[in-house]
């Protein structure tokens, strides 16, 4: 990576770390000033991130061509999505859970192994479509994951009768539950398309029905999210189980991507 890109990378990463720390401090001790500074820091990190991606694209790499760039873009999308929804839902405390997810994905994107070229014969419009729907779906799931973590913590505090500071600052259980559900509802159809196109892709590559571990995790993630939606439809408000299902689903999806990142192939 050239110097400028390196510099932008470090700036962005440190920005996310600082924003996360500020959001966490806001969760711990409250105060509108802290959340304001956290949001400003996050906005600055996003700006730095955008410049980093633009510089990367200008250096000759086609955007979204590798799984790393896809992760990069995914982490940006999560941060932007949170910042935009934060204003509307007044939930700055969730930044304490969302910013770390963004940071991890951003750092994972930097783990650049040998990049396998996609064989000429199987290139088609299916590939960018597969990537775009997956990124959008995963961004929604990442936000749902952060909301689910907040739900589990909030319920635990209520059960332990620790209803002071952090409990007061986190949103109501019902708010977290329905927000998580809405995010899973948005992410699910996109992710489903991603899994389907991925399977077609795998079939074209000639693997037939033999699943790789990554594909296995992707299907497992899909099953978790499907069960979250089903239990909601059956029970109205699903609570802790749905939150844990969402968390497991997102972790499986990350495991699926993790396999590709480490091997440097896939899309």
Partner 1 sequence: MSGKLMVFGLSYRTAPLPVRERLAVGAERVPSDLLELVQEAGLHEGVLLSTCNRVELVATSDDPDKSTQAALAYFNARVAPEQVDGCVYRYVGQEAARHLFRVASGLDSMVLGEPQILGQVKEAFAVAQRTGTVGTLLGRSFERGFSVAKRVRSETAVAAGNVSVSSIACDLAEKIFGELTDRRVLIVGAGKMSEVAARSLTARGARLFVVNRSPERAQALAQACGGQARPLEALATELAEADVVISSTAKQDYIITYELMQGVCKMRRHRPIFLIDIAVPRDIDPRVDSLRNVFLYDMDDLQKVSRENMAARERAVVDAEQMIEAELTELDRWLRAVELTPTIVALRERVRSVLRAELDKTLPKLGVADKERRALEAMCEAMANKLLHQPLTALKQNQTGHDGVELVEAVQRLFLLQVDPSARPSGQPSAVHDSTLAAAASSPADGAGPKA
Binding site for partner 1 (CB under 8 A): 154, 158-159, 161, 163-164, 167-168, 171-175, 234-241
Tokens of 241: 């189980």
Tokens of 221: 């993630």
Directed axis angle between helix 173-205 and helix 213-235, to 10°? 140
Q: Of 129 and 237, which has the nearer Cβ to partner 1?
A: 237
Q: Of 52 and 181, which has the nearer Cβ to partner 1?
A: 181
Residue 148 C-beta: closest distance to partner 1, Å: 15
Residue 145 C-beta: closest distance to partner 1, Å: 21
Residue 106 C-beta: closest distance to partner 1, Å: 33
CB atoms within 10 A of CB 123: 11
Residue 158 C-beta: closest distance to partner 1, Å: 6
Q: Of 172 and 209, which has the nearer Cβ to partner 1?
A: 172
3-state secondary structure the chain: CCHHHHHHHHHHHHHHHHHHHHHHHHHHHCCHHHHHHHHHHHHHHHHHHHHHHHHHHHCCCCCCCCHHHHHHHHHHHHHHHHHHHHHHHCCHHHHHHHHHHHHHHHHHCCCCCCCCCCCHHHCCCHHHHHHHHHHHHHHHHHHHHHHHHHHHHHHHHHHCCCCCHHHHHCCCHHHHHHHHHHHHHHHHHHHHHHHHHHHHHHHHHCCCCCCCHHHHHHHHHHHHHHHHHHHHHHHCCCCHHHHHHHHHHHHHHHHHHHHHHHHCCCC
CB atoms within 10 A of CB 206: 8
Q: Of 87 and 174, which has the nearer Cβ to partner 1?
A: 174
Residue 97 C-beta: closest distance to partner 1, Å: 18
Q: Of 97 and 222, which has the nearer Cβ to partner 1?
A: 97
Residue 250 C-beta: closest distance to partner 1, Å: 22
Q: Of 17 and 175, which has the nearer Cβ to partner 1?
A: 175
The radius of gyration computed from the CA coordinates of the chain, to the nearest angstrom, equals 19
Q: Of 88 and 159, which has the nearer Cβ to partner 1?
A: 159
Residue 94 C-beta: closest distance to partner 1, Å: 15
Q: Of 238 and 246, which has the nearer Cβ to partner 1?
A: 238
Residue 169 C-beta: closest distance to partner 1, Å: 10
């Amino acid at each position: 990576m050239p110097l400028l890109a390196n510099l932008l990378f470090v700036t962005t990463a440190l920005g996310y770390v600082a924003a996360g720390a500020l959001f966490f401090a806001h969760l711990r001790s409250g105060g509108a000033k802290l959340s304001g500074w956290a949001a400003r820091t996050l906005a600055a990190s996003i700006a730095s991130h955008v410049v980093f991606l633009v510089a990367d694209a200008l250096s000759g790499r086609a955007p979204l061509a590798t799984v790393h760039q896809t992760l990069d873009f995914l982490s940006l999308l999560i941060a932007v999505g949170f910042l935009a929804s934060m204003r509307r839902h007044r939930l700055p405390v969730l930044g304490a859970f969302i910013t770390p997810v963004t940071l991890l994905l951003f750092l994972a994107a930097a783990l650049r192994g040998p990049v396998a070229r996609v064989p000429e014969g199987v290139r088609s419009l299916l590939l960018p479509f597969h990537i775009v729907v997956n990124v959008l779906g995963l961004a929604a799931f990442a936000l749902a994951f952060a909301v689910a973590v907040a739900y589990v913590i909030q319920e635990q505090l209520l059960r332990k009768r620790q209803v002071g500071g952090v409990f007061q600052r986190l949103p109501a259980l019902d708010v977290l539950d329905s927000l998580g559900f809405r995010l899973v509802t948005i992410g699910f159809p996109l992710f489903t398309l991603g899994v389907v196109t991925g399977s077609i892709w795998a079939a074209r590559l000639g693997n037939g029905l033999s699943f790789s571990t990554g594909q296995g995790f992707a299907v497992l993630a899909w099953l978790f999210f499907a069960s979250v939606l089903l239990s909601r439809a059956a029970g109205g408000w699903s609570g802790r189980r749905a939150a844990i299902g969402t968390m497991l689903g997102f972790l499986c999806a990350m495991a699926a991507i993790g396999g590709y990142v480490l091997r440097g192939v896939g899309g």
